[in-house]
Chain A
Amino acid sequence: MLNMILNRKGEVSLKTPLLGTNFFINIYDMVYILFIIIISISLIVFGKFFIDKGSNRAIVRYNGKEIMALDLRKNQTVFLLKKDYPLLLGDMEIEVKEGKIAVVKEKSPYNYCSLMGFTGESTRPIICQPNKITITVENGKESSGNNQVDAEVR
Chain B
Amino acid sequence: MSFYMMGERRKMKKEKDREQKKEEKIRRYPKQKIFFPSEIFKIMKKVKGTGLLLFALALFSSCLGKNEKIYTKTVEDLFDTVHVISGYDKSEKDFSKKVEFYKKEMEELHNLYTSYEDIEKVNNIKTINDNAGVKPVKVDKRIIALLKDSIKWNREISNKVNIAAGGVIQLWEKGRQEKRIPNHEELERAKKCSNIDNIVIDEENSTVFLKEKCTRINVGAVAKGYAVEIVAAKMKKEGMDSIIISAGGNVKVIGKRKIPKKEEEVTDLKSCKTDFCIGIMTPIYNDKELDNGNPYKRRDIPYISKIAVSDTSVVTTGSYQRYSVIEGKVYGHIINMDTMYPEEKFSSVTVITENSGLADFMSTTLYLLSFEEGKNLLVKLRGIGRIDAIWAMKSGNIETTESIVDGEDYVKYDFK
A residues lining the B interface (CB < 8 Å):
20-26, 28-29, 32, 36, 39-40, 43-44, 46-48, 51-52, 61, 63-64, 110-112, 115, 122-123, 125, 127, 129, 132, 134, 136-138, 142-144, 146-154
Contact = CB atoms under 8 A, between A and B. Distances in A.
A153 B71 contact: no
Interface string B209-242: 0000000000000000000000000000000000
A122 B70 contact: yes
A136 B83 CA distance: 12
Contacts, number: 159
Given A36-B54, A122-B72, A123-B70, A152 B62 contact: no
Question: Which 8 A-B pairs rank lowest in CB-CB distance, beginning with the nearest?
Answer: A40-B58, A47-B62, A43-B62, A149-B279, A154-B281, A154-B249, A153-B316, A150-B276
A21 B279 contact: no
B389 interface: no
**Contact residues on B (Cβ < 8 Å of other chain), bracket:** 35 or more
Nearest to B25: A24
Most buried by A among B65, B249, B280: B65
B269 interface: yes
Given A21-B32, A23-B35, A29-B37, 11 more contacts: A20-B33, A24-B37, A64-B76, A115-B286, A125-B74, A134-B74, A148-B266, A150-B86, A152-B249, A152-B302, A154-B321
A143 B278 CA distance: 10
Nearest to B21: A9
Contacts of A149: 277-279, 303, 306
Nearest to B82: A127
B350 interface: yes
Contacts of B318: 154
A74 B156 CA distance: 57
Given A43-B61, A127-B82, A149-B279, A136 B321 contact: no
19 contacts: A21-B32, A24-B36, A28-B37, A43-B61, A47-B62, A47-B66, A51-B62, A52-B67, A123-B70, A125-B84, A127-B84, A138-B92, A144-B265, A150-B86, A150-B276, A151-B251, A152-B246, A153-B280, A154-B280
A43 B64 CA distance: 11
A154 B316 contact: yes
Interface string B125-143: 0000000000000000000
B25 A123 contact: no
Contacts of A52: 66-67, 69
A137 B92 CA distance: 13
B272 interface: yes
Contacts of B35: 21-24
Contacts of B67: 52
B188 to A, nearest CB: 30
B249 A153 contact: yes
A134 B62 contact: no
A47 to B, nearest CB: 4
Contacts of A150: 70, 86, 244, 276-278
Interface in B56-110: 57-59, 61-67, 69-74, 76-77, 81-82, 84, 86, 92
A3 B269 CA distance: 61
B65 A36 contact: no
B315 A129 contact: no
B285 interface: yes
B92 to A, nearest CB: 8
A122 B71 contact: yes
Interface string B249-277: 11101000000010001111100100011
A55 to B, nearest CB: 14
Contact of B286 (A110, A136, A142): A110
Contact of A153 (B57, B62, B82, B278): B278
B358 to A, nearest CB: 15
A151 B248 CA distance: 11
B58 to A, nearest CB: 4
Nearest to B286: A115
A39 B55 contact: yes
B40 interface: yes
A100 B25 CA distance: 70
B169 interface: no
Contact of B279 (A112, A127, A144, A147): A147
Contacts of B265: 144, 148
A145 to B, nearest CB: 10
A23 B51 CA distance: 19
B66 A51 contact: yes
Contacts of A25: 37
Contacts of B70: 122-123, 142, 150
